[in-house]
Amino acid sequence: MRNLTSILGSRQCRSFIMIFWILLLVFGGISLISLLTMDCRPSFDDTLCRVSIEVVYSRLKTYFKTLFKLNYQLTF
């Protein structure tokens, strides 16, 4: 539990959380705008949004793997 607290309090993790909230607000805003303007939405918008989400997910997964791998190496 102490290691988790040190991870969550680290500067890298705080910057990641800030970036995560910014991305959530941006993608959430795009989703809300696309729902409000559903009639005039282009057909490629869904594919573009899905690809963007997949890219963000893969980058987050890689970031977390690196973060926990680094923490494991520093702990032992």
DSSP annotation of 44: T
- Are 3 and 71 in contact by the 8 Å Cβ rule? The answer is yes
Mean pLDDT score across all residues of the chain: 66
State both tokens at 16. Answer: 């990641």
Are the beta carbons of 23 and 56 closer than 8 angstroms? yes
Q: ∠ CA(64), CA(69), CA(72), 5° rounding?
A: 125
Q: What is the mean pLDDT of residues 34-38?
A: 57
Q: How far apart (Å, rounded) are the C-alpha atoms in residues 12 and 22? A: 15
Percent share of the chain, pLDDT over 90: 0
Work out how many domains the chain is built from and give that number: 1
Q: Are 8 and 15 in contact (CB under 8 A)?
A: no
Domain that holds residue 21: 2-75
